[in-house]
Structure 1
Amino acid sequence: MPKLAMPLTEEQIGALVPRERRYRVGDGHGLYLLVEPTGKKRWRMSFHLRGRESTVAFGDYPDMSLADARQQCINANRLISDGIDPVEWKRQQRRQAQAATPTTRKFHLSMNAQGGLVIENRSHHMALTAQQVAALRAFLIATGDETQGE
């Protein structure tokens, strides 16, 4: 028979101190607070579905309050009772949100002291020499690109 956890209070959560190894403090219905050695406190929920144990992450405390974590736990338990894996459900929701959001590719252009061009975005950095910039400009002019500036 599973051990019954006493519901946590905000005072108890505030009093939790980090230890050498991470540890769990249960709230009930599978919800627990994982306390890391760094002091970070993370909301998690353990559950069983189709014969296997799994864990779903809800967020970090205090960014996610005790009340919000409990509501997330209730929502996850509803999904589980319908035979839906809450981890997969969260992934699917995230994918749908990303697909619905138009992607914009932001980048930054700058000139260096030698007349070269520097192009940067989140994951790439490219520097063109002055000769490469001249060749690129000549190509754009030759192909009739109307977006090039003077």
Structure 2
Amino acid sequence: MALTDKQARSAKPSDKPYKLADTLSLYLLVKPNGFRIWYFKYRFEGKESGVSFGPYPETSFALVREKRDATRRVLKSGFTPSQQRRDEKRLSMN
């Protein structure tokens, strides 16, 4: 079940960081200081990794889910998000 805005807004800090799951490996990480950040976990070539998509509520549900879907497409094409950023940077320099 997808995370709702109400659930995300009502998330209280705890002694330890905890995750509020959304869908398809996307979650909101709630830190002890109350900071909340979107994070997407993935596995590539047998290694687990992840990418952050920005703080909540500054990064909306719609935008973060769009970024998750774009990242999934990149992974499906055989590249990691960091490889894609590096390639895009290299192309923009030429």
Whether TM-score is above 0.5 comes out as yes
> If the length of structure 1 is used for normalisation, what is the TM-score?
0.57
Residue 88 of structure 1: how far off its partner (Å): 2.9
What is the CA deviation profile of residues 66-97 of structure 1, one whole-angstrom value per residue up to 9, with x for unaligned ones? 1111110000001111111013323444x459
Count of aligned residue pairs for this structure pair: 94
Residue 63 of structure 1: how far off its partner (Å): 1.2
Residue 31 of structure 1: how far off its partner (Å): 0.6
CA distance 1:60–1:98, shift in 2 (3 Å): farther
1:12-31 matches, within 5 Å, as 12-31=7-26
Q: Distance in 1 between matches of 2:80 and 2:34?
A: 29
1:111 — aligned with what?
none
Q: Distance in 2 between matches of 1:16 and 1:8?
A: 11
Query: Computing the radius of gyration over CA atoms, which structure comes out larger, 1 or 2?
Result: 1
2:60 — aligned with what?
65
CA distance 1:20–1:91, shift in 2 (3 Å): farther
RMSD of the alignment, in Å? 1.8
What is the CA deviation profile of residues 106-125 of structure 1, one whole-angstrom value per residue up to 9, with x for unaligned ones? xxxxxxxxxxxxxxxxxxxx
Gaps of 5+ in 2: none
Tell me the secondary structure at the aligned position of residue 41 of structure 2. strand
1:1-150 matches, within 5 Å, as 6-93=1-88, 95-96=89-90, 99=93
Q: Which has the higher contact order (CA 8 A, sep 6+)?
A: 2
Q: Percent identity?
A: 32
Q: Distance in 1 between matches of 2:87 and 2:39?
A: 19
